[in-house]
Amino acid sequence: MGKNLKGKELGVGISQRKDERYSARFVTSCGKRVEKYFDFYQDARRWLAEARLLDEHGSETPASVGTTVNDWFNYWMVNIKEKTVRPNTSRNYRERYKQNIKPRIGGMLMCDVKPMHCQVILNNMVDDYAGSTIYQTLLTLYNMFQCAFENSLIVSNPVTRSVKLPKTIEKKVRFLTLEEQRLFFEAAEHTSNYYQYLFVLNTGVRTGEMVGLKWEDLDFDRRIISIRRSMEYRASVGEWCAGPPKTKMSRREIPMTDECMHLLLEIKNMRDLGRYVEEEFEDFVFINRNGKPTKNSTYDANIAKLTKKAGIERFSMHTLRHTFATRCIEAGMRPKTLQQILGHSNINITMNLYVHVTDEEKAKEMQKFEDYANEWRKIKTKINVI
């Protein structure tokens, strides 16, 4: 087992050289010794894991000559990424490849792809996609080609520094005004998903976190909701899949509002009265009339009908999370506290994406400034008189 220069064990096949670079090596199934050097330990560990996996599935590994981008992407996803990343991340990779990368370069040979091809992919997304989606596409491109490069399938990664994100006009994130909020919930009352909409508005949780909520996550004595998992329906496999929340910070505790506690107790009371629930979902809080969780897409479809009924602009389930954040800021909540409740890993995400100051709030804050300025003028006048 290799060690670094301070004597700490680094794992089998990895060691640190006197020049402080890391050496990663192993013997292939054919008896050939393979070794590469890296500036960072994490890079050495990742390469070693992927190289061993490729060697283990040697008969399935695409050859470097004649390999198309489609060939490599499919191999990369099935044998490497899907075994090391969360289901949502894997889904995002596949979605971006299918929609944006494959139509442009899927049939090209890996060795023929140049930086200009990657830039064209990103540039052609500007009119139809948000900046965050274009960034996801860039990450997909970089990661898939970097893995191919580190495993010697190509001589260099075409996603170089010259490949840049195009300038985009970000769409203003949608949140409900107080009047829209009133109209929507009047239209939603007594409908099948009313409690779910109200729950998100009172907690700011993501839809998957709400779907994955279990009774064991609720502490009514302390009035605390613990977010421990996210769950979604995977149509590709025809089953519900639960996993950890989006990030480490997404594992969090959220205080219950009075309204939130009331609706949760109402759901519990209906469950105690014998409302039908399929056995495998007995531990979950939000269950529909068929005894199962409701799919994410169904929430948005129902919202479309309700907004039409309410006479307001259509929005998505995630808009209720934005609305919760906006109401919190309007009420004077500190951004750092809001960051923890929303489960963001970075305070900048909270400030840039979820906090939208309404025109009313702007006017209110400017009035504070004007009141202060008027007081100062009065004091200054008195001083001049004296």
For residue 129, the SS3 value is coil
Q: pTM value?
A: 0.63
| Residue 305 token pair | 């009908």
Between 122 and 383, name the one with better pLDDT. 122
**Is the C-alpha dihedral spanning 302, 305, 309, 311 positive or negative?**
positive
- 34 phi, psi to nearest 5 deg: -120, 135
Quote the longest CA-to-CA distance of the chain: 97
C-alpha to C-alpha distances, 341 to 245, 255, 281, 330, nearest whole angstrom = 13, 9, 26, 16
Q: Among 144, 143, 59, which residue's Cα sits nearest to residue 110?
A: 144
For residue 313, name the pLDDT band (cuts at 50, 70, 90): very high
Q: Is the predicted pLDDT of residue 380 greater than 70, yes or no?
A: no
Average pLDDT on 162-176 reads 80
Proportion of the chain above pLDDT 70, given as a percent = 88
Cα separation, 323 vs 201, in Å, equals: 7
Q: CA–CA separation, 73 vs 94, rounded Å?
A: 9
Which residue's structure tokens are 């950890």? 244
User: Radius of gyration (Cα) for the chain, nearest Å?
Assistant: 27
Question: How confident is the model over 172-216, as pLDDT tens digits?
Answer: 778 999 999 999 999 999 998 999 999 999 999 999 999 999 999
- Please state at what angle helix 69-79 crosses helix 87-96, rounded to 10 degrees: 170
Element housing 280 (H / E): none
Q: Which residue has the higher pLDDT, 319 or 366?
A: 319
Strands 14-16 and 22-27 come out as antiparallel
Tokens of 77: 């996803």
The pLDDT, as a whole number, for residue 167 is 82
Distance CA 9, CA 15 (A): 8
Least confident of 40-49, 139-148, 281-290: 40-49
Cα–Cα distance for residue pair 57/72, rounded to 1 Å: 14
Q: Which two tokens stand for residue 206?
A: 């993501």
Band (pLDDT 50/70/90 cuts) for residue 224 is very high
Q: List CB contacts of 52: < 8 A, sequence separation 6 or more.
A: 26
Residues of 275-299 as b/e, b for ≥16 C-beta within 10 angstroms?
eebeeebeebbbbeeeebbbbbeeb
